[in-house]
Structure 1
Amino acid sequence: MPPPELPVETTPLPYEARLDARPRAQIDLVVIHCTELPDLATAREFGERVLYADSGQGNSGHYYIDRDGTVHLWVSPERVANHTRGYNPRSIGVELVNTGRYPRWLDANHQAMDEPYTEAQIVALIALLHVLAQDYPALKFIAGHEHLDTTTVAAEDDPTKTVHRKLDPGPLFPWDRVLREVRLRRFEP
């Protein structure tokens, strides 16, 4: 069966060619993120920042899904994007535009992630996951960023408290629905 029709806007990040190439068979995991930024334009600005001077690379997912359901490809899945410590070589990162804890990500008194994901985002995500499952036969697993990076750090507003470095995609992500509608299973680190 051919993959469902899914329009994707492709706009590679400036450093995409510097990211390591990888074989398709190496990709067995999709990691779901939320941008924790106000909009797609700000996410793009963050994605274009070179954070690793020695390699000329930055942090980014592969796909971004805006609130209206448009899907953007910024890094080819055949390249290793920097999106989840320890899991990048084997995974595809999918970022959902959502404010999360923006702009006080690490404040102890601002840890709620209360912006719901839009129906258009979830429909587009499920369609994308179907396409990826057909395009990458080794793809078996799905996880949230929060399940893979459980690091805690001192809170910026109160160093006597700790907060989780990553909480995305957060408590409002519809895991039950997504797992019902795609053939991927939850990855347990």
Structure 2
Amino acid sequence: MPSRLTLLLLTLLFLPACSTPRAGTPHPRRGDEIMIAGQLFHTNGARVKLWFDQGGYDAYRIERRFAKWPEANWEATQKSGKLPQPERFGLRFAKSLSEDQLAVARAGPWPLDLLRDKVDQFIIHYDAAGTSRSCFRTLHDERGLSIHFMIDLDGTIYQTLDVQERAWHATTSNDRSVGVELANIGAYPFARDDANNIIMPATLARWYTQDRTGWHITLPSWVGDGGLATRNFVARPARDQPITGTIQGEQLAQFDLTDAQYTALIKLTATLHSVLPKVTLTYPRDQHKKLITTKLPDDQLATTTGLLAHWHIQTNKIDPGPAFNWDRVIRGAHRELHRYPPAP
């Protein structure tokens, strides 16, 4: 009879073989992963659809996603004159990488250390399309642009490209930034009545209605069902009134994001900062610690890291608008990482 020691040694010998998955065994995913430089990283429970998932949005594809199939390919698109080139993204820092770095970047996923050294901004947009499906149609099919992430009204995160790619979304910051489009119809100039109440801008009036609970989105007929991953989702702004503020010197009104969107964005922000530490948990403030609401001077932009608005990059942009709650995102991201949030 073999001794106990012999049995233990035999068990340890065969344990690795028993734990090796059999050929053809699917590799499990939790569904909260984003991809950075070919690696999957968890987001602590956010609902994520990658570009190769069913129901995802794929910015690597040349064909137009929503065109009729015979008209979707590049040859038909080129003849129609709708887009200038087939690709919607590029290579980060293509003009400044060393020859060795360029060779590595072209051969496969970027080394994570190289990406960590180069990427230091997270640009926040609203899509002005209202839903992520409409946003992707506009970017991919109509404008030939791209974005790394979209967050729909129900908080679903769609990743359309690996973070290593140079998405086309923020002009001079494309090389160094990650971009996200938040489903929100946008911010608009407004007037006031004799009682100083806001006269609702026409676009907001088409998208938002009130019931006994408060304001909520009613999708216009041309949007269809919106393509939301959550059936029968009722999209209510996190704050139950239009938010007003001045962006680029113009008074604007906007409804806030949904709570589900903030939850998803907080998890995404924390994950990006954890993997890419130069994307700091900060946003541009003036000497009084107030949010800067105009474009940053070029020399200041060159040294600014962390979360930025599209308006910080370009004078002709106002997104993510006056309703965007910067402190909620920053403080929430700190909590996700089990850190004490900074003082306001």
Deviation at 1:101, TM superposition (A): 4.8
The letter of the residue matching 1:4 is N
Task: Tell me if 1:143 matches 2:308.
Answer: yes
Residue of structure 1 in register with 2:156 after alignment: 70
Q: 1:143 to 1:126 in 2, by over 3 A?
A: same
Specify which of 77, 89, 103 is matched with residue 175 of structure 2: 89
The letter of the residue matching 1:149 is Q
TM-score (norm 2): 0.42
Specify which of 27, 32, 38 is matched with residue 124 of structure 2: 32
- Identical counterparts, % of pairs: 32
Deviation at 1:50, TM superposition (A): 6.2
Q: 1:37 to 1:18 in 2, by over 3 A?
A: closer
Once the two structures are superposed, residues 54-84 of structure 1 have per-residue CA deviations (whole angstroms, 9 ceiling, x without a partner) of: xxxx222210000100000012110000111
Q: 1:6 to 1:38 in 2, by over 3 A?
A: closer
Residue of structure 1 in register with 2:320 after alignment: 169
TM-score (norm 1): 0.73
**Cα separation, 2, equivalents of 1:49 and 1:168:** 21
Deviation at 1:113, TM superposition (A): 4.2
**Cα separation, 2, equivalents of 1:50 and 1:3:** 31
Give yes or no for contact 1:67–1:120 (8 Å, CA) kept in 2: yes
Deviation at 1:126, TM superposition (A): 0.3
Q: 1:21 to 1:85 in 2, by over 3 A?
A: closer
The letter of the residue matching 2:124 is I
**Cα separation, 1, equivalents of 2:134 and 2:44:** 29
Once the two structures are superposed, residues 80-102 of structure 1 have per-residue CA deviations (whole angstroms, 9 ceiling, x without a partner) of: 00111100000000110000158
Once the two structures are superposed, residues 134-156 of structure 1 have per-residue CA deviations (whole angstroms, 9 ceiling, x without a partner) of: 22233221101112212xxxxxx
Specify which of 125, 133, 136 is matched with residue 273 of structure 2: 133
Give yes or no for contact 2:46–2:156 (8 Å, CA) kept in 1: no
Residue of structure 1 in register with 2:29 after alignment: none
Give yes or no for contact 1:100–1:112 (8 Å, CA) kept in 2: no
Root-mean-square deviation (Å): 2.5
Q: 1:9 to 1:174 in 2, by over 3 A?
A: same
Deviation at 1:3, TM superposition (A): 5.0
Q: 1:39 to 1:166 in 2, by over 3 A?
A: same
Runs of 4+ in 1 over 3 A off after TM superposition: 15-18, 101-104
Larger relative CO (CA 8 A, sep 6+): 1 or 2?
1
Once the two structures are superposed, residues 96-134 of structure 1 have per-residue CA deviations (whole angstroms, 9 ceiling, x without a partner) of: 000015898xxxxxx744222100001100000111112
Give yes or no for contact 1:61–1:93 (8 Å, CA) kept in 2: yes
Structure with more helix by fraction: 2
Unpaired stretches in structure 1, ≥5 consecutive residues: 52-57, 105-110, 151-164, 184-189
Specify which of 247, 252, 259 is matched with residue 119 of structure 1: 259
Deviation at 1:181, TM superposition (A): 2.6
